[in-house]
Structure 1
Amino acid sequence: MPADIILDDSDDGLVTIQGEILKSETTDFKLDSPERRSVDGGERRALVHNVNDGLTVNFEGDYPGGVSIDGDVLRAHSYELHLDSASRRHSPRGKRRALTHDTNDGLTLNIDGDYPGGVTIRGAHLNLKVSVVEGVDIKLPRTAGIGDLLLVQNVDADPLFANPHTLWLCVGPDAVTGSTDAVWVQVPLGDFVLGTE
């Protein structure tokens, strides 16, 4: 497709750029409409090829209204999402990885406890991962983090005489033997209660 720049002489102020690739050998790309500014002064750098050879959107927060992404699906081909506000940090050290596509092909929030304040989920409906076992032996994973919960379902148990489900909490590695294997304790469960709504 041949490249061309078309200047529309209508009142729309339309400029059309035709071609396969638009290349700009510049460091900054600015979108700056005087009619849409809420304050005078300052830059409006939409895209910046930064000094770390990275791409920065809304460089140094130039746009007071922030950045919005509209659409039904937002797909990120990466394994970490960092939410890191300097003004909300209690310590300048460490990463702030909010979401991680982990090495077990799972989704981890606050991996390695990056956020000292922890994770708060309000009004949540939680559904624990179920580990299905057969027989009387409970097999718990050797690798786990302190605070991990695991719901185990024994498919051989008779629900008329015993609850086929047990709940386990990881309390850390074995400090007595020095092993790095996870140590689990069972969380007592109450009696069966039928749902009514």
Structure 2
Amino acid sequence: MELQVVEHRLTDGEALELEPAPRVVYDVNADGADYSTGSRAIKGPKHVLSFELTPKASGSALLGASLALPTDEQRLIRCDRVDFPPGGVAYLHTHQGPGIRVLLHGSIRIETGGRSHDYGPFEAWFEPGPEPVFAAGSADEPTAFVRCMVLPAHLKGQRSIRYVRDEDADKPKPQRYTVFVDELLPEDP
């Protein structure tokens, strides 16, 4: 199974029909998202990010990633937005499942697996979940990204983040989270 994100920028009067798939459609301008499994019509003007579970990533995806998930465990799909004030960081942490992130504004540096990468608006990256990650937002402007993760079902309504170092767990966390979707996936998406 693949998790992919596809960006669609529709002009006034333009329409798009999305094939049936478990997906979260994030509306960039309205700052909201919803989940569906059936076919989906989108009418412009609209700027959306469609996070989709598919058998294979499409060539038009901003990013696609293969997911190796246990078959004996129910999963949920979560879409949320993370906002950092200028200079905000997310201390070294992991998540309990994989996901794709797309930067909305600002800039962000992601350090993981001995590598560091800087992302700008509408660039996407994948985090597998168990690999520790440090994130630093822009020093001089607010930073925000939207993400879609596939998590164990028992995390419905609960945070998935785990801090790697005990001393970081009690530090102030300047980032704000807005959860849009937290839905159980069908048994066989």
Q: TM-score band, normalised by the shorter chain?
A: under 0.3
Per residue, is there more strand in 1 or in 2? 2
- Give the structure-2-normalised TM-score: 0.20
Structure with higher Rg: it is 1
